[in-house]
Structure 1
Amino acid sequence: MGRLIVISNRVSVPKAAGAAGAQGGLAVALNSALREHGGIWFGWSGQETEEFTGHLDMQRNDGVTTATIDLEPQDIEEYYNGYANRTLWPLFHYRIDLTEYDRNFGEGYERVNERFADSVLPLIENEDLVWVHDYHLLPLGSLLRQKGVKNRMGLFLHTPWPPTRLLVSLPFHERLVASMLEFDVIGFQTTEWLESFLHYVQKEMGLTVNPDNSIDYEGRKVIARAFPIGIDFEEFVAAAASDEARQAHDRLKESVRGRKILIGVDRLDYSKGLGERFEAFARFLADNPDQAAKAVLLQIAPPSREDVTSYQMIREDLERKTGHINGAHADVAFVPIRYVNQGFPRDELAGFYRAAAIGLVTPLRDGMNLVAKEYIAAQDPEDPGVLILSQFAGAAHQLKDALLVNPHSIEHVSETIKQALEMPLAERKRRHASLLASVREQDVLRWREEFVRTLAGTADTPSVAPSLTMESAAETVDQAGPA
């Protein structure tokens, strides 16, 4: 096997462990793969340039080579803020009401993907494996094929894949999916997103899906499979045992003065269901006055995509709700919601997780959600907290012993908070042991190895495809609740 060429919208340069802004599990896994196989991580630098030149900034840090390009302001507005985050992101998270269709967005998306293809092309050698990540770069495989690349190429989608009846609202949807079929392997987080994709290629494109999950397309077989991503389990457990984590744990516990802590850690995004989460906590406070002064919700929500209007609106909405709830339920020595708009290093987060009696992970729709897995890994097995998890997160397919909730139902989440706070120690330990085994076994290193082996053609393929009929897959959106 040749080197590994990783291509993503942004590139994670290796940093010192425990540093502020340190790498997440995905970056750790990909950097580990690049060290093992050799190769390059290519993507956008995050920086602007007045005129695109295609200049590559090559760096080598901690044994990993990275290559980045700068983009013009128009590129960033149309490709990133536009098509990626105002068209594909809301559509893929079932928010058709927030999806914007603008011809300039589509043109910018295709232009930047073309620039990625031109810039990375000279870096690809004959035997290299090419691994492309996420919704920003869906056409990239097709563009590289047009430029003569014959290498094995794979795509992994970190987001959900929407049901067919939603996807067909996207102009030129068939052209977009056809470009994806130029990859040799297409990976999804769960069988639900995989089934939606297979339903689309069967119903809208008339393609054949074989028992081994391959799709017949223009004389080739394209493998489509679910590869559930995990965390770097050993690294995160070590982080939870660090001095920094212990200090963060003690600091948080001391500050709440014996109250039970509920914790949410989410990027500030409408898909995370933060508004509904706050309303559910307010309902819990109102319905359980005897416990109202005994529970604190710590919501950590670093801002993101601040140039997109819908993200500005969600921040304003959460600030209003926080003020209203705290005004109604606080006293001079206590506020029920601590709403923090900043990120924290992984060691500190691990300490916060360990201090929390409840991990509140209630996205309206999520490809996987690794916060749920981090919360489990950080717990004390002798006195573990309880994970409350949205049934619409990809992680719910694996973490069956969490308390699964419908995040659209304020009453359901409120009642589940009460259930979690009153759960006996024996049940908490039983549930946690089961969840911990799943998180340990299905970690990010296993995910990376399975995808790379499949891409290289050295992995076993499933003997049967997911159970799928046209009708069952088409009904997925109806069964999933409101968008």
Structure 2
Amino acid sequence: MSRLVVVSNRVATPTETKGSAGGLAVGVFGALKDSGGVWFGWSGDVVSETVANQGPSLEQDGAVTFATVGLPKKDYDQYYRGFSNAMLWPVFHYRNDLAVYDRDEYAGYRRVNSWLAHKLIKLLQPDDVIWVHDYHLIPFAEALRSEGITNRIGFFLHIPFPSPQILLNIPPHEELVRSLCCYDVVGFQTEGDQIAFHDYIVRHAHGKATSDGQVEAFGRKLKTGVYRIGVFPDEIAEQAERGEARQDVMDLKQSLEGRKLIMSVDRLDYSKGLVERFRAFEHFLEKSPEWRGNVTLVQIAPPTRSDVETYQQIRQNLEYEAGRINGRFSGLDYTPIRYLNQRYDRWKLMSLFRESQIGLVTPLRDGMNLVAKEYVAAQNPDDPGVLVLSQFAGAAGELSGAVMVNPHDVVGMSDALARSLAMPLAERQQRYEANMAALRKYDLGVWRDNFLADLRDVRRK
């Protein structure tokens, strides 16, 4: 079997791949171990130009080589903070109002992609299969092709792909789609994302797109497909059950003093609908006074992109809302919202999910949302909690047992909380079983293997 080369903006460390990292790192590392190969990308370090211009740092773990490079400050600002996260991220999440376009940042985005591609070429073998991940690296295949690389190259988008009318807000939208067409396989999380891409190809690129995923545009032929990223549900269940007896989890249970627990875990990001979620919980306590003092919302929101002004504002808004709501409903022995702006080990989160009665996952827009799937997998089958899920998460297309909500509807989310807390055991079990069947049908291995099978089937040019 040919080697696999994985390219991502950030590379998980060998230690993280042993279980502390999220599902993507675990799944990708599994594929790399099977075929042998390279995981290449940014180390996360901002370094001097001199250090950046050295060769990739290499670390071996069995048949897998971890190859990382640092970014100079200018490249970090333009490629990562700039075009990737100030333009692509908000537009792809339908937040054009937050998008900031700067031509120099776009030039830096393309320059860094070309620079990274040049670094990788020195590590490539003629028969390697290359799998590129996410919006930071849209031009990566184009950069490789310009240097004569003819290997099979696939791309998977982990975030939503916007409808053409939204995408047109990015001034170089045509260049970006042209770059995507340099891949052999382009994968999306949902049918809606694939349709949006096909719609752009037909209406704005004057190309062709067929129902079986074949696309012709910009002088290229490629395959598109829907590959729903998943989790390994049984592993999560074991992890959650093992952690139940650990001291941190026992301390939380004791501090709740018999109160019901609602768990939410999100990166601190405007796409996650955090303020709307807090206001829905406030409305619930307002309209259901019998639950005051009897239910606690734990919101874990690890900081992300803390050097970006928009994210600093989100944190301030969320802290204000938590303080305001707690000021209304707290008692001497009761705090309705526990807002934790810090990271927790994955095993601990899974165990906390298992202890809770509701998993509240309400993004305004999300490619998939693995937290929703992890919440379901972590539940006790004999007494499962209820997943309350945004209809705008990609996972909503699979998890039919969730209580679906519109995250813009504060009253609707409040009603869903009331319904879920009062839900009979038999209904909770039925919903849990339906969700678990979906998780097992499309687990992380299926996602990985289906994409790579399609990529390996591509005829070499």
| TM-score of the two chains, using structure 1 as the length reference | 0.92
Within-5 A mapping of 1:246-285:
246-285=246-285
Secondary structure of the residue aligned to 1:224 is: strand
8 Å contact kept, 1:266–1:300: yes
Deviation at 1:54, TM superposition (A): 4.3
Report the equivalent of 1:203. Answer: 203
Question: Amino acid of the residue matched to residue 122 of structure 1?
Answer: K
Question: Amino acid of the residue matched to residue 25 of structure 2?
Answer: A
8 Å contact kept, 2:280–2:410: yes
Report the equivalent of 1:28. Answer: 26
Distance in 1 between residues matched to 2:69 and 2:341, nearest whole Å: 29
Report the equivalent of 1:235. Answer: 235
8 Å contact kept, 1:247–1:351: no
Within-5 A mapping of 1:209-224:
209-217=209-217, 220-224=220-224
Structure 1, residues 193-250: CA drift from partner, whole Å, max 9, x if none? Answer: 1111110111000111124211023554210111000012232122112246654443
Structure 1, residues 111-170: CA drift from partner, whole Å, max 9, x if none? Answer: 110111110011111111000000000001111001011011000000001110010111
Deviation at 1:286, TM superposition (A): 0.5
Question: Amino acid of the residue matched to residue 34 of structure 1?
Answer: L
Which stretches in structure 1 are left out of the alignment for 5+ residues?
A: 460-483
Question: Amino acid of the residue matched to residue 237 of structure 2?
Answer: V
Distance in 1 between residues matched to 2:237 and 2:42, nearest whole Å: 31
Report the equivalent of 1:447. Answer: 447
Deviation at 1:65, TM superposition (A): 1.1
Distance in 2 between residues matched to 1:245 and 1:40, nearest whole Å: 38
Secondary structure of the residue aligned to 1:263 is: strand
Report the equivalent of 1:37. Answer: 35
Per the alignment, do residues 245 and 234 of structure 1 end up closer, same or farther by CA in structure 2, a change over 3 Å counting?
Answer: farther
Deviation at 1:410, TM superposition (A): 0.4
Report the equivalent of 1:306. Answer: 306
Report the equivalent of 2:177. Answer: 177
8 Å contact kept, 1:84–1:136: yes
Distance in 1 between residues matched to 2:365 and 2:354, nearest whole Å: 25
Structure 1, residues 342-386: CA drift from partner, whole Å, max 9, x if none? Answer: 111111111100011000000000000000000000101111000
Distance in 1 between residues matched to 2:311 and 2:256, nearest whole Å: 30
Within-5 A mapping of 1:6-405:
6-15=6-15, 22-51=20-49, 52-61=52-61, 63-217=63-217, 220-243=220-243, 246-405=246-405
Distance in 1 between residues matched to 2:16 and 2:288, nearest whole Å: 45
Deviation at 1:50, TM superposition (A): 1.6
8 Å contact kept, 1:249–1:354: no
Distance in 2 between residues matched to 1:238 and 1:283, nearest whole Å: 36
Per the alignment, do residues 409 and 224 of structure 1 end up closer, same or farther by CA in structure 2, a change over 3 Å counting?
Answer: same
Distance in 2 between residues matched to 1:36 and 1:249, nearest whole Å: 35
Q: Which moved more, 1:327-336 or 1:338-347?
A: 338-347
Ranges of 4+ aligned residues in structure 1 off by more than 6 Å: 16-19
Structure 1, residues 423-473: CA drift from partner, whole Å, max 9, x if none? Answer: 1111001011100111122111110000000100189xxxxxxxxxxxxxx
8 Å contact kept, 1:184–1:455: yes
Structure 1, residues 164-206: CA drift from partner, whole Å, max 9, x if none? Answer: 0010111111011001101000000000111111101110001
8 Å contact kept, 1:245–1:352: no
Secondary structure of the residue aligned to 1:241 is: helix
Secondary structure of the residue aligned to 2:104 is: helix
Cα RMSD (Å) of the superposition? 1.5
Deviation at 1:63, TM superposition (A): 4.4
Distance in 2 between residues matched to 1:245 and 1:277, nearest whole Å: 30
8 Å contact kept, 1:248–1:351: no
8 Å contact kept, 1:262–1:296: yes
Within-5 A mapping of 1:419-458:
419-457=419-457
Secondary structure of the residue aligned to 1:293 is: coil
Question: Amino acid of the residue matched to residue 197 of structure 1?
Answer: F
Which stretches in structure 2 are left out of the alignment for 5+ residues?
A: none
Per the alignment, do residues 94 and 245 of structure 1 end up closer, same or farther by CA in structure 2, a change over 3 Å counting?
Answer: farther
Secondary structure of the residue aligned to 1:382 is: coil
Secondary structure of the residue aligned to 1:123 is: coil
Q: Which moved more, 1:77-86 or 1:251-260?
A: 251-260
Percent identity, aligned pairs only?
A: 46
